[in-house]
Amino acid sequence: MEREKMTKQAYKEKTAPYRAWLNSISIPVALIVLFIAVFLGLTVNAAGMIIFVFAIITHVNYKKIQAPKICHVAPILYYVYNVVSVFYVMSLIVYPQVNIVSALLSLTNLVLLILVIAFYFVAAQAIKKQFPRMKEDYNEAVQAYKGKK
């Protein structure tokens, strides 16, 4: 009996929910690791940009799989977090000594980061609820696609 062959497009569509769920778990974990690394004084040059790119990809994937609206909150908050970060860095460059503006921006960033992490986990839960068979579908799609090669 020959396995059913799967096109690359069908493979991408079938595996999209699982990949979106996986990113919804990976991004907040990466943000936590990045925050701890920065807090410990480690230099992490491109890590923030890589996470940001994954957030954009994940946001696009949410639209493709028609994820619940709550899933879109985390990426949007992450975009706001990054904009506030730019203003925070600019305030530190203009006024290197501690001032009220940089302190407020720093506190705002911390609150936004906590919300981003929480909403990514909420998004992961919402995707899991919407696609209860996503892992099985993913495994079946991988097997069907590999059978093609």
**How do the domains of the chain map onto residue ranges?**
11-132
Q: Residue 148: what pLDDT?
A: 61
Average pLDDT over residues 131-148: 88
- SS3 readout for 44-60: CCCHHHHHHHHHHHHHH
Using an 8 Å Cβ cutoff, are 11 and 141 in contact?
yes
For the stretch 25-77, pLDDT in tens is 999 999 999 989 888 888 777 888 899 999 999 999 999 999 999 999 999 99
In which region does residue 18 sit, left (phi positive, over 0), alpha (psi from -120 to 50) or beta (all else)?
alpha
Using an 8 Å Cβ cutoff, are 126 and 25 in contact?
no
Q: Which of 21-30, 57-66, 80-89, 116-125 has the lowest mean pLDDT?
A: 80-89
